[in-house]
Copies of this chain bind each other. A is one copy, B any other.
């Protein structure tokens, strides 16, 4: 297997309802990645696109074909991936394999979503299709509901008082906004306080408005290349050193295991093992903070904190810049925004910016050598990626 590098990246602003179409947004990010790599569209041998609700937001399926054509990458193989919020991550993992195997030298991968165009109520209802549709969805489950249940389970399982958990959750959000304010691509560039969070309206107890990420419109894309080719395209190749993926079925059916998410534990072990590293080696992590409680659950499964003690990472600054692992220096899904089919690619793109030292000063982490992405699709698909600085 050959080494695979990210040779160039692109990222649109993440916004409320975008005026551009998904094809336009994706190719805005793609063109930046292409220009950065010094290639032309005709050098791209294959396209891998994450997209979830394009049929509801724009009445468009098979969008990959129109993206490739619009880009001028005529007649290349183009594939759409759907694994809810992890869609772009699944696309990256497959793209990685086509290059690692030696079949392709240069491919384009990313994700796009325009679910904010639908408005939050319709986006929430349609995205709830990423629950099991025969048992969970008819019971009224939406994602705020699911993560609210996980928060209550968390308090019971680890004997953490709800008031304490809520304060920790608020700290997660506050940190996200603290860094998102500096991210020029972020949807919410505004600092908030713990008090703001705890005063915001209740969405689904115990989750309040500021515990929840938004639906966003936007895209992110990357040019992947084999090691030899990447070295010709860029002086700063970032290697995809490890990938992992797992599925979990109905999260609510995992019973005693919840609020832990076994798929994450399986997936991240694959990524760590392939990269030959462990959690202590990670300098920077972009994790799936769809809800504040999700961050606390995630850091435990990723190996950064003991089970039941994830929230302490934010209390003690261990999740902050200069802490044990800098978490979500992009602002995360909460502040940067969450265009579901693009999020996995956005996480990787931001780590590349950090490694190159190109993040805005207010959020730049010093000397990032190893980064980790963590993307949770619905309640059932998990994908992780270890990125290593190549210079």
Which A residues are closer than 8 A to B by beta carbons? 1, 21, 23, 46-47, 52-53, 55-56, 58-62, 64-66, 68-70, 74-84, 90, 93-94, 97-98, 100-103, 126, 129-130, 132-134, 137, 245-250, 253, 262-263, 266-267, 377-378, 380-381
Contacts and interface: CB of A to CB of B under 8 A. Distances in A.
Given A21-B134, A75-B263, A102-B1, A377 B129 contact: no
Given A58-B133, A80-B82, A82-B82, 17 more contacts: A46-B245, A55-B55, A62-B83, A62-B130, A62-B381, A66-B132, A68-B247, A69-B247, A69-B248, A69-B249, A69-B250, A75-B266, A76-B247, A77-B246, A78-B83, A79-B83, A94-B94
B100 A82 contact: no
9 contacts: A1-B102, A55-B126, A58-B134, A64-B247, A69-B249, A75-B246, A76-B247, A78-B245, A80-B82
A117 to B, nearest CB: 13
Nearest to A128: B59
A81 B267 CA distance: 20
Contacts of A94: 79, 94, 97
Tell me the number of copies of this protein: 2
A109 B132 CA distance: 20
A42 to B, nearest CB: 14
A244 to B, nearest CB: 8
Contacts of A249: 65-66, 68-70, 74
Contact of A61 (B70, B80, B82, B90): B82
Interface centre among A103, A132, A250 (most CB of B within 10 A): A132
A248 B75 contact: yes
Contacts of A64: 83, 247, 381
A13 to B, nearest CB: 21
A77 B1 contact: no
A266 B46 CA distance: 13
Going nearest first, the 5 A-B pairs with the smallest beta carbon separation are A69-B249, A65-B380, A77-B245, A101-B101, A60-B133
Given A55-B126, A79-B90, A246-B76, A1 B381 contact: no
A356 B69 CA distance: 40
Contact of A62 (B60, B61, B82): B82
A266 B80 CA distance: 19
A23 to B, nearest CB: 8
A258 to B, nearest CB: 14
Contacts of A377: 62, 65
A70 to B, nearest CB: 7
Contacts of A21: 134
A129 B59 contact: yes
Interface centre among A76, A98, A101 (most CB of B within 10 A): A101
Contacts of A80: 81-83
A65 B133 contact: no
A15 to B, nearest CB: 19
A55 B62 CA distance: 14
A97 B247 CA distance: 20
